[in-house]
Structure 1
Amino acid sequence: MREMVASNDIVAIPQRHWGRKVAGVFVAAAALWVVSLFVFTPNINWETVWEYLTFRTIIAGIGVTIVLTVISMIGGAIFGVIAALMRLSQSTVLRTVSWVYLWVFRGTPFLVQIIFWYNLALFLPRIGWGTFSVSTNVVMTSFVAASIALTLNSGAIMAEIIRGGILSVDAGQSEAATALGMSRLNTMFKVVLPQAFRVIVPATGNHLIGMLKETSLVSVIAAQELLTQTQIIYGRNYQVIELLIVASFWYLVMTSICTFLQQRLEARLALSVSGRGDPKDRRGKRRRPAVDLEAPLTDIVSPQPRNEEK
């Protein structure tokens, strides 16, 4: 009878993939060439870039960009939940109103929406009633118009994200909650939405990053955010590319931070909901496996009965 070779004696030799190495070297060389072409060109004044990288108005523009992003995401989440619930409602009127809202704000260019809200005085000269009214031009500043346009556009996108997350939850969850006597509203907010977060969070993170970059479009109405401040500066010194590099750098920094936070949130949510990831508890200690991995397979499948004393 042949002696079986122990698993510790088996030496696995990985296969050599020369094509991957050659492709990696080629891609790395091409990337270095592109970076060197960009960095060492004599047509870009890097001293101007370093000078305006932490300029006072640039930092102020970053603050306005962050504020617009936060306002649009919070308001968009509120409008998105309401519109998503209206779309899933059994009422024909609510479904129709929600559908029209999504159809208009997802079907028209965002730049057109910004210009429309900034020129709202053409359709509504005054806001209010009688003596308690003010001129629309006084209320609808560039910042207010940008906030409204960003919020309503974000709400239309968030509505589809939330609706998709709700539909991803198994219908049996709602049926079980109904069988327990829970109302439809409690079922939605206590059973369905918490489980839909697994689908909603990644898409919302991507939408946040996109919205952060889309705030640059409000520069068309001079909303004093990052790109507007950049345009004001290069309109004076004519260093267009240098100032655009400054703006691009800060957009990359902000989107990188958002991407990192999104990945951390997704990892924590996946670990807490589905148990994926490193098998450690919240105190950092490794969990004890339910089955003794060192025991023989026969003992795990069919353990020997204990010898009971007679």
Structure 2
Amino acid sequence: MSVIDIDGGPRLPRASAAELSDLRVIPVRHRARTLATIAASIILLLILQSVLGNPRWGWGVFAEWFLSEPVLVGLGRTLLLTAVGAVLGFALGTLLALARVSSAPLMVALSWGFIWLFRSIPLIVLLLILNNLGYLYQTVSLGVPFTDITFASWSTTQLMTPFLAAVLGLTLNLGAFSAEVIRGGILSVDQGQHEAAAALGLPRGHQARRIVLPQAMRAIVPTAFNEIIGLAKGTSMVYVLALPELFYTVQIIYRRNLEVIPLLMVATVWYLIILSVLSVIQYHIERHYARGAVRTLPPNAFRVFFARLGLVPLTPPTRALEIAPLPPTWRPATAIPQQALAALPKGAEVEIHGVSKSFGDLKVLDDIALTFPAGSVTAIIGPSGSGKSTLLRTINHLERVDRGLIAVDGELIGYRRDGDALHELREKDILARRTEIGMVFQNFNLFPHLTVLENITEAPVTVRGLSRPEAEAQARELLARVGLEDKADAYPRQLSGGQQQRVAIARTLALRPKVLLFDEPTSALDPELVGEVLDVIKELARSGITLVIVTHEIGFAREVADSIVFMEQGRVIEAGAPDQILTRPKHPRTAAFLAKVL
């Protein structure tokens, strides 16, 4: 019996599940790809026949010299120059890159000038200048600048050996090029990552080492290894210093026996081996830094090779997960138990006095004056571009104000008062104060290269001084409170948007802040994920922490807020209880806005 489809055409009879399970899947054949593979194989065989079958290549001479002592000594010197030049060059490049992205104009100018100069000078010219430095300076002295005080002095000619000249030349040349590679990697890290790290109170050095550079490495590594490979080949330039590295050694040999091609092939094959090893190292470093960037890491190259031979499976066997029994305080979904809420610190009063802020000619905050009582829940609403998010960011000093001040429990944020003047605090003091004011961003800003557990423990260990076991125990408890205890070892990319935002809330709560700022916490979520995040915030509203929430969820603001602030064009138009603002607004602009969104 045939079946008619809804478009009127015939369709195959319905089959049983057992019959369907026996069907064999045949992948589509790509004839063009097959022909291209055959053509490439033929070309490869022709090349091998031409190279291996031609006696003029002198493979007997090649075999005689390939592992000879002079060649191996030259190879060792090439490897040493490559290793030392790479380490020193990238160390110098890192310092130059950090100077270029710093806020000190003189450091930026000096770094730019160095990069401009040493990228302009050809390597061979730089090597010759360094080798002849004794002509310009007879001695090199260590002492106090601009005085006659000298601690030690050396003859430049004796100090600047060919090997030292080669190391300095390769270092200066690589340092200039690698600085731009590293700077590009740093600039590739999203600004939200910097802000999230700062909001958690992480020190600047820790931010660079643990948050920024690991993410920048994904952009740095491919180009950096191009530079290292170029350095390995560039060591052949030191032949101008009569330094017997690999290429210079081969030159000496073929000038004596006149076997040019076989000896050049000796150098070529060794360079191929060096670069092949560097490529394997590059692959594994890239794979390491790909953690968190992709949902599933690509398989190890060696495992793919052995899997093709049938020796191992393509993916390693997964261990059965041991599911720990749920804690007695666990509840379904995202409910936070009362005992957990009681353990959180009590909220602090936030006072905003005459705050103004401009970006160029655009004034985004205009003489804002508000007070958020301790333990209160305040929702800030208004049209896009009204200054809501900027106001939130000034509370924890992510944005500097142009005028006015903000205090939490009577302590100024970002400043200290000395008479009639306000002095901005040092960065470490700002960071320490900022830990009392947690912030949850609309785009989550989780650190993608760290697991969920590492995201939550990073700040408590670094800022609060908790031991790693204490921080992990606290993190797992917080994850259980937001219904994500089974996601501790996942990376942010492996989570849904709602899960990521709940992790961001747990990360912020790990510092036990007195004030919690939410910057449109549901705007980046699908509608069906909004509820799970709002449920967590509702529970937090009962905790006694002071909550300030920028939101477009008017119904949520009505349900959870003690007061609502309506802003437009950088001004507070109206503020009051939810019932009064949402049902009986006093200002006509508030009424017009609510008429469009309710």
Q: Shared fold (TM-score greater than 0.5)? A: yes
Contact map agreement 1:279 1:287 (CA 8 A) in 2: no
Kept in 1, the 8 Å contact 2:93–2:178? The answer is: yes
Deviates more, 1:267-276 or 1:28-37: 267-276
* 1:294 paired residue number: none
**Which of 41, 62, 68 is residue 28 of structure 1 equivalent to?**
41
Aligned to 1:99: 112
**Higher Cα Rg: structure 1 or 2?**
2
CA contact (8 A) 2:181 2:224 kept: yes
CA shift for structure 1 position 9: 6.2
Among 61, 68, 71, the alignment partner of 1:58 is 71
User: Which structure would you say has the larger RCO, counting Cα contacts within 8 Å and 6 or more residues apart?
Assistant: 1
One of 150, 156, 166 as aligned partner of 2:176: 156
Which residue matches 2:592?
none
| Structure with greater helix percent | 1
Greater mean alpha carbon deviation, residues 69-78 or residues 104-113: 104-113
Q: Is the 8 A contact 1:279 1:286 kept in 2?
A: no
- The 8 Å contact of residues 84 and 163 in structure 1, kept in 2 or not, is answered as yes
With the length of structure 1 as denominator, give the TM-score of the two structures: 0.83
Equivalent residue pairs, number: 289
Please state if 1:76 is matched with 2:108: no
Shift of 1:12: 4.5
Counterparts of 1:210-221 in structure 2 under 5 Å?
Answer: 210-221=230-241
- The SS at the match of 1:43 is helix
Q: C-alpha separation between the residues in 2 aligned to 1:41 and 1:86?
A: 55
3-state SS, counterpart of residue 138 of structure 1: helix
What are the ranges of 5 or more consecutive residues in structure 2 without an aligned counterpart?
4-12, 143-149, 301-315, 322-485, 487-527, 529-598
| Alpha-carbon separation, structure 1, partners of 2:279 and 2:87 | 18
Distance 2:48 2:42 in 1: 10
| Shift in Å, 1:233 | 1.0
SS at 1:127 equivalent? strand
Residue from 240, 244, 257 that aligns with 2:260? 240
The equivalent of 1:38 in structure 2 is 51
TM-score, normalising length from structure 2? 0.45
> Which structure 2 residues correspond to residues 82-93 of structure 1 after superposition, within 5 A?
82-93=95-106
SS, match of residue 227 in structure 2: helix
Q: What is the CA–CA distance in structure 1 between the aligned matches of 2:287 and 2:197, rounded to whole Å? A: 28
Partner of 1:176: 196
Secondary structure, counterpart of 2:318 in structure 1: coil
Offset of residue 250 of structure 1: 0.8
The letter for the 1-side match of 2:229 is: I
Q: Which of residues 229, 237, 244 in structure 2 aligns to 1:224?
A: 244
Measure the CA separation in 2 of the matches of 1:190 and 1:18. 49
Give the match for residue 202 of structure 1.
Answer: 222
Pick closer, same or farther for the CA change 1:148–1:43 going to 2, 3 Å: same
267-276 or 194-203, larger mean C-alpha shift: 267-276
CA contact (8 A) 2:215 2:289 kept: no
Deviation by residue 1:266-305 (Cα, 9 ceiling, x = unmatched): 223323664522699xxx5526698xxxxxxxxxx9xxxx
1:66-96 deviation line (CA, Å, top 9, x unaligned): 1111111110121111100110011111111
Q: Which residue of 2 aligns with 1:293?
A: none
Secondary structure, counterpart of 2:281 in structure 1: helix
In structure 1, C-alpha distance between the alignment counterparts of 2:188 and 2:318, rounded to whole Å: 32
Deviation at 1:202, TM superposition (A): 2.7
Amino acid at match of 2:100: R
SS of the aligned residue for 1:133 comes to strand
Give 1:258's match in structure 2, choosing from 266, 278, 281: 278
Moved more, 78-87 or 10-19: 10-19
Worse-matched range after superposition: 35-44 or 229-238: 35-44
Distance in 1 between residues matched to 2:59 and 2:46, nearest whole Å:
19
* Alignment-derived partner of residue 167 in structure 1: 187
**SS at 1:182 equivalent:** coil
- 1:291-310 aligned at under 5 Å gives the runs none
Gaps spanning 5+ residues in structure 1: where?
291-300, 302-310
Equivalent residues of 2:214, 2:289 under 8 A apart: no
Q: Indicate the residue corresponding to 1:115 in structure 2.
A: 128
Give the drift of 1:221.
1.4
Please, which moves more after superposition, 247-256 or 126-135?
A: 126-135
Structure 2 residue identity aligned to 1:192: V
Backbone CA RMSD of aligned residues: 2.7
Q: Which letter maps to 1:38?
A: V
Q: Deviations over 1:159-217 (max 9, x none)?
A: 11211111111111211222233333332223211222222223222322221111111
Distance 1:41 1:106, change over 3 A: same
Report the Cα offset of residue 62 of structure 1. Answer: 1.0
- 2:302 counterpart of 1:270: no
Once structures 1 and 2 are overlaid, which stretch shifts more, 183-192 or 246-255?
A: 183-192
User: Residue type matched to 1:93 in 2?
Assistant: L
Distance 1:142 1:167, change over 3 A: same
Distance 1:278 1:43, change over 3 A: closer
- Greater mean alpha carbon deviation, residues 27-36 or residues 160-169: 27-36
